[in-house]
Amino acid sequence: MSKIVLEHIDKYYGDNHVLKDINLTIEDGDFMTLLGPSGCGKTTTLRVISGLEKPQNGTMTIDGKMMIDAANAFYEEPSKRGLNLVFQSYALWPHMTVYQNIAFGLKIKKLSKKEIDQRVMDSLKMLRIDQYKDRYPNELSGGQQQRVAIARAIASSPKLLLLDEPLSNLDARLRIDMRVELKRLHKETGTTIVYVTHDQVEAMTMSTKVALFRAGEIAQVATPLEIYTNPVDMETADFVGSPRINMIEGKGVYDGTTLKVESELGNFEFEKDTLKLEEVIPEGKPFDVVLGIRPEVIQVYPKKPKEGDCFEATVYASQPAGSETIITLDKGDTQFLALQVDLRSYEMNQKVWVGMDPKRLNVFNKETQRLIRYAAANIREEADE
């Protein structure tokens, strides 16, 4: 078991308030990613969990055992927290072989030679690098060295594995490969993983939960799908997703049962049960709203389809990208993006027809910037009959 509970954590560096009242629960077995831009506090939070930083306020427990009690100046030593930390740098001993690098920490724990060999080889096989056990770090690629660093971390069977941007030094192809291995590792070991990254693709593809950081605060904690589908505010919506979300301004009127929205891309009606009623939704008078429309929600047709509500638009630019095509479209003074899976060919200034599924649209209150209408996720689940 390795449930982590952070409550009211504050961290200062001099007058700089780096972490501001952080409250976060990481359940046993979670793959929790701390996501956000540089300087938002995600790495500092990881270092607080690991014991490398001491917060000025707040508490932290692991499995109900107090690890941090700032009010009483109690900070459990990192070695007694049952965790391992993997940094951005590999930190491998250059004079030791792969096998020796992994075995070193186990020898310090005075495990038997047989158990050390079992653990080393199991971790190497899990990361698929057992064939490199007799090589030295300088004989390995960057991706192989990173796998060794992770294998070393899991060989001691930690309750918690903390990863601080471990893939940022790898090229694009290696990052994809390592994402696959980390996801399999989490599934096979059941270890609770806390992962720090600024890369939203890493967060979306590997995590069971994502904590989105912004300027020392947590903006939203949810599953990757929920953060993508229903971001808590406009800034979150703009940060998560590539290509970026379309933000289309409009006017809304809520009569107590239905939210009616008029925009350049059409008029929509949203029922009360899809609204986030705890947010500010003025009733009985027009107010400014912003429609959040993901590019893949927008369908583009060369000819007007026989069914469905569509409007005419003009192709501003088309960007074929192998497996997908990104189309920039104009309607009046409004420009927006559409994403089509597959290669499509469009000419500049070509007239096309555009449709979208209203169920998959977000609505934000422009004044508060907050989400006021939930979008439905479009999930296709494949299962054996």
CATH class of 4-233: alpha beta
CB 35 within 8 A of CB 213: yes
Query: Facing residues of 362 across strands?
Result: 292
- Please, are residues 252 and 321 in contact by the beta-carbon 8 Å criterion? no
pLDDT recorded at residue 62: 94
pLDDT at position 99, please? 93
| pLDDT at position 383 | 46
Where exactly does CATH 3.40.50.300 map onto the chain?
A: 4-233
How are beta strands 371-373 and 324-331 bridged, if at all?
unpaired
Strand pairing of 192-197 and 31-35? parallel
pLDDT of residue 380: 54
**Cα distance between residue 252 and residue 270, in whole Å:** 10
pLDDT at 292: 97
Supply the Cα-derived Rg of the chain in whole angstroms: 25
Do 305 and 355 touch, CB atoms closer than 8 A? yes
How confident is the prediction along the chain (385 residues), in pLDDT tens digits per residue? 589 999 999 999 999 999 999 999 999 999 999 999 989 999 999 999 999 999 999 999 999 999 999 999 999 999 888 888 887 777 789 999 999 999 998 888 888 999 999 999 988 988 888 999 999 999 998 888 888 888 888 888 788 899 998 888 777 887 888 888 888 888 888 889 999 999 998 999 999 999 999 999 999 999 999 999 999 999 999 999 889 999 999 999 999 999 999 999 999 999 999 999 999 999 999 999 999 999 999 999 999 888 878 999 999 999 988 889 999 999 999 999 999 988 888 999 999 999 999 999 999 999 999 999 999 886 555 444 4
pLDDT of 311 = 94
- The pLDDT value given to residue 1: 58
* Token pair for 324: 């997908």
Residue 129 near residue 120, CB atoms below 8 Å: no
* CA-based end-to-end distance of the chain: 34
Q: Is the dihedral angle over the CA atoms 96, 97, 98, 104 positive or is it negative?
A: negative
Torsion sign over Cα 211, 213, 217, 220? negative
Domain 238-373 has CATH 3.30.1700.10: no
pLDDT given at position 385 = 42
Task: Note the pLDDT of residue 343.
Answer: 82
pLDDT of residue 15: 93
- Where in the chain are all domains bearing CATH 2.40.50.140? 238-373
